[in-house]
Amino acid sequence: MSSWEEKVHKVTPYTPGEQPKSTNVIKLNTNENPYPPAGAVQKAIADFDYESLRKYPDPTAAGLIGALSDTYGVPADQIFVGVGSDDVLAMSFLSFFTSGEKILFPDVTYSFYDVWADEFRIPFETVPLLPDFSIDIDGFCKGDAAGIVIPNPNAPTGLDAGTAALEKIIRSNPQCVVIIDEAYVDFGAESVLPLIEKYDNLLVTQTFSKSRALAGSRIGFAFGSKKLIKYLNDVKYSFNSYTMDAITQKVGVAALSDPEYFKMRCLAIINERERAKKRFTELGFDFPDSKSNFIFVHHPKVAAEDIFAALRENNIFVRHFDGERVHDHLRVTIGTEEQMDALFEFLGKYLEEKA
């Protein structure tokens, strides 16, 4: 190794789900929304004044923050926006978790948390999920962590811990910031957002990527106490003032302008998920009871890796994770009715041949 290389900050990057080149694929591997964004988004892009790109975008994203404030009934100075919730979460780790002491998150969870911890040299411990994949609430209530991050519903299990359990964790940890990552909350779980009034160390993060069908635009946001949001902004403005471009800010406002469309699409995904649960059960799969836009399935007779490979050969992409507790599961994103029909038609035949 050359001497300069010894000084390089070496990290193992996060591995995102595959984005296949072929358009002939049923893509159920990255929890994207199978429906288009709201029509108002198309209009906002078409009407965008391209000449205005000459200027820097509004660093405060005031238009988008205002629209979020109206939509969620939260004052603007308690809202932070970032380039996807990955950006919001990375900024939050940098702002709240770099004390040098250990932070906590579940052992089976969003696989970006340990990447950020390594990136920012944050020591961490994982709290194992219980055998049924639910969060070990007491494991998070010892009150000695320097930071806690939990997705609710959890990924990739889809399980909702419930507000009472999450509040117990928040109440037990006044010594640190607690982040509840609500990337999937719009698919049927209850948000802990009202609790930001009660706990000034609670940060609630959400995203436009899943429920608002805007993964390609990169819009994430967070709610918290005024103090928490100020600390977060101070770090953000010390890093890069202009993270969110001008078009995206308009796109975000447009997406929020059509709550009826949003509700209709979320409900369609929820209904399709419940239908998928029945069909997975009929095919012999078991799974935690998902409140998200994916289901984490396991088949007692056929290895997940084999099912994954067979699906892939037939242009149906789902997600398989390595790791002791999860390698025999597949995370299947809820697609449209037609996509799910194709999935189940294939699985029916495949499992019949296998058995």
- Binding interface with ligand PLP (CB under 6 A): 31, 84-86, 110, 151, 155, 181, 183, 207, 209, 215, 220
- CB of 31 or CB of 299, closer to ligand PLP: 31
Measured from the CB atom, is 247 or 283 closer to ligand PLP?
A: 247
Instruction: Name the residue with the smallest CB distance to ligand PLP.
Output: 84
The nearer residue to ligand PLP, 298 or 331, going by C-beta atoms, is 331
Displacement of CA 1 from its chain's centroid (Å): 37
**Measured from the CB of residue 290, what is the shortest distance to ligand PLP in angstroms?**
13
Q: Residue 136 is encoded by which pair of tokens?
A: 């070990």
With CA atoms as reference, report the closest residue to 87 among 198, 220, 210: 220
Taking Cα atoms as reference points, which of 347, 295, 255, 193 lies closest to residue 67?
Answer: 255
CB of 148 to ligand PLP, least distance (A): 14
Strand pairing partners for 104? 125, 148
Quote the least distance from Cβ 46 to ligand PLP, whole Å. Answer: 24
Closer by beta carbon to ligand PLP, 229 or else 302: 229
Sheet holding 148-151: strands in order across? Answer: 79-82, 220-223, 202-207, 178-181, 148-151, 103-106, 124-127
* Peptide linkage before 156 cis (omega within 30 of 0): yes
Residue number with CB closer to ligand PLP (181 or 186) = 181
Residues 6+ apart with CB under 8 A from 23: none
Structural contact between residues 103 and 146, judged by C-beta atoms closer than 8 angstroms: yes
Nearest distance in Å: CB 89, ligand PLP: 6
In the complex, least distance from residue 258 CB atom to ligand PLP, rounded to whole angstroms: 20
Question: Which CB atom, from 33 or from 225, has the smaller least distance to ligand PLP?
Answer: 33
Q: How far is the CB of 157 from ligand PLP (least distance, A)?
A: 11
Residue 179: in which H helix or E strand, if any?
A: strand 178-181
Number of alpha carbons in the 13 Å side-chain half-sphere of residue 127: 21
